[in-house]
Amino acid sequence: MTKYNYAIELGGGQTKIYQKDCGLVLCEPTLVAAEPTSSGYSLLGLGKEAKALMGKTNDEVEVFSPIVNGKINNFEYAQELLEYFFEKVKYKKNSGNIIVLVGCGISNNDKKLYRDLLHKVGFKEVALVPTAVCTCVGAGKNISSTKINMVVNIGGGNVDISVINRNSIIKGATLGIGGRNIDSAIAQTIAYDDGIVIGLATAEILKNEVASLFSNDTLNMEVTGVDVESKVPRSYIINSSDLYPIILPFFDEVLRASEVTITSLPPEISKDIINNGVLFAGGVSQISGLNDYLKKYFRYPSIIVEDGEFTSINGAGKLLDDQELLNRIIENF
C-alpha cells in the first residue's frame, strides 16, 4: 500500500499544498507572468510575484493561470510553477507520494495530464481524489456512512456541484464561472457606469470586503482608478449597495444549477440531502450575507463551511492520516 505524504489542490485561483504532519505549507496564486520574446516567452514571475505584477506591466506581459476550468491548459508553465512551489517548501525530488484534488467531471485524458505533471515535478506515486470528497471530510462529514452528501464549491474559476454517496461521486456538474468572473463584472460595471477604470486586483478586494448579499448592507471603500475620459487618477467611494446588483446574478445562477441537480435525483437521495443540508464551500462562499441569501432564496437547507477556501485541502490533509480510507477513495475514482 502506497503511503501518500503530500496533497495538492491546483485551483483556478490558488494552489494549496499540504504536507503530512506539517499542515498547509503553501497557498499562492496559480499564476504565471510572462513576456513574449523572439524565441518564445521570458518568465517574469510565478505565484505571488506574478499576481503582484497584474495590471502594473506593459501590455505585452501576460499574467495567466496555466490551469483553466480545472484542466491543465499549459503544461510547461504548470510544471514551471509547481517546480517553483515545491522548491519553496523544500521538497526533495523523488522523495514523496502525492494526492491531487480534482473536479468530479475530469476526463481520462486530463487525469493522465495531472499524473504526468506531478511525476515530472518529482513525485513517485501520484493518485487523484475528487475535491468534493475532501471537502466533506474537511467539513467533518462521515463519508463512510450511507448518507448522501452534497457540496457546492464556489471557487475562483469554477462552481463545482457534487453529490456524494459513501466515498464516491454519483452526480456532478461544473459551471465555468467563479470569483474571477465576479471581479471582472465589478470592474466592467464601474468603468461603464461611473467612468472609472480599476484593476482586477482592486475589484477582487471590493468583492471580498465590500460586496454583500444583504441588499441593504452599508459597507463601503474608497478606491482609486483612472478616469475614462480625462485619464487622470480619481478616487471614488464604492458602497455594497452599488455591488449588490452586480453580484446577484452570479449567485442566482449557482442556486438555479444546485436546484436543478437536486430535482434530477431519485427521491431517496434528495430526501437525504434535505435531511443533511447542502454544504457550501470554496473561497467565494465566504461572501458577506450568503447565509441570509440562502435562507431566503434556496429551497433546501444549507450549511456554509468555515474557512471555505481551505476546507478541501484540510480534508485531504486528514485523509493523509487515514490511508485506508484514502485508498478506498482512490480505488473508487
Ligand X SMILES: Nc1ncnc2c1ncn2[C@@H]1O[C@H](COP(=O)(O)OP(=O)(O)OP(=O)(O)O)[C@@H](O)[C@H]1O
> Which among 47-55, 76-84, 278-286, 321-329 is the span making contact with ligand X, rule CB under 6 A?
278-286
> Which one of 29, 130, 138, 155 is in contact with Mg ion (CB under 5 A)?
155
Please identify, among the stretches 46-54, 227-235, 277-285, 294-302, the one whose residues bind ligand X according to the rule CB under 6 A.
277-285
> CA 251 to CA 236: how far, in whole Å?
26
Instruction: Return the one option of ligand X, Mg ion, none that residue 19 interacts with (CB less than 5 to 8 A, by type).
Output: none
Query: What is the closest distance, in whole angstroms, from the C-beta atom of residue 226 to ligand X in the complex?
Result: 22
Cell numbers representing residue 73 in the block:
491548459
Question: Binding residues for ligand X, how many (CB under 6 A)?
Answer: 21
3-state secondary structure of 227: strand
Let me know: does 244 contact 204? Beta carbons within 8 Å.
no
CA 164 to chain centre: 19
CA distance 73 to 198: 28
14 interacts with ligand X by CB under 6 A? yes
Among ligand X, Mg ion, none, the one that 270 touches (CB under a kind-dependent 5 to 8 A) is: none
Residues with Cβ within 8 Å of 77's Cβ and at least 6 positions away in sequence, in order, are 32, 34, 64, 66
If one asks whether residue 11 binds Mg ion (CB under 5 A), the answer comes out as yes
Least distance in angstroms from the C-beta of 284 to ligand X: 4
Supply the minimum distance, in Å, between the C-beta of residue 285 and ligand X: 8
- Whole-angstrom Cα distance, residue 115 to residue 255? 33
* SS3 call for 1: coil
In this chain, which of 138, 157, 172, 225 binds ligand X, going by CB under 6 A?
Answer: 157
CB of 23 to ligand X, least distance (A): 17
Give, rounded to a whole angstrom, the gap between the first and last alpha carbons of the chain. Answer: 17
Determine the distance from the C-alpha atom of residue 26 to the mean position of all C-alpha atoms in its chain, rounded to a whole number: 15
Among 13, 130, 172, 225, binds ligand X (CB under 6 A): 13
Among 45, 138, 179, 289, binds ligand X (CB under 6 A): 179
Residue from 4, 5, 6, 12 binding ligand X (CB under 6 A): 12
157: partner contacted, choices ligand X, Mg ion, none (Cβ within 5-8 A by kind): ligand X
Taking the C-alpha atoms of residue 141 and residue 149, their distance in angstroms, rounded to an integer, is 8
H-state helical runs in the chain:
48-53, 75-88, 108-121, 131-138, 179-194, 200-209, 240-263, 267-276, 290-297, 311-320, 323-332
Chain residue whose CB lies nearest Mg ion: 155
Binding mask 185-224 for ligand X (x = CB under 6 A): -------------------x--xx----------------
DSSP state letters, 247-281? HHHHHHHHHHHHHHHHHTS-HHHHHHHHHH-EEEE
Window 280 to 309, contacts with ligand X (CB under 6 A): 282-284, 286-287, 309
Smallest separation (angstroms) from ligand X to the CB of 309: 4
Cβ proximity of 312 and 141 under 8 Å: no
Residue pair 308/283 in contact by the 8 Å Cβ criterion: yes
**Least distance in angstroms from the C-beta of 172 to ligand X:** 13
Of Mg ion, ligand X, none, which one does residue 5 interact with (CB within 5 to 8 Å by kind)? none
Nearer to Mg ion, 10 or 163 (CB): 10
Q: What are the residues binding ligand X (CB under 6 A)?
A: 11-14, 153, 155-158, 178-180, 204, 207-208, 282-284, 286-287, 309
Q: What are the residues binding Mg ion (CB under 5 A)?
A: 11, 155
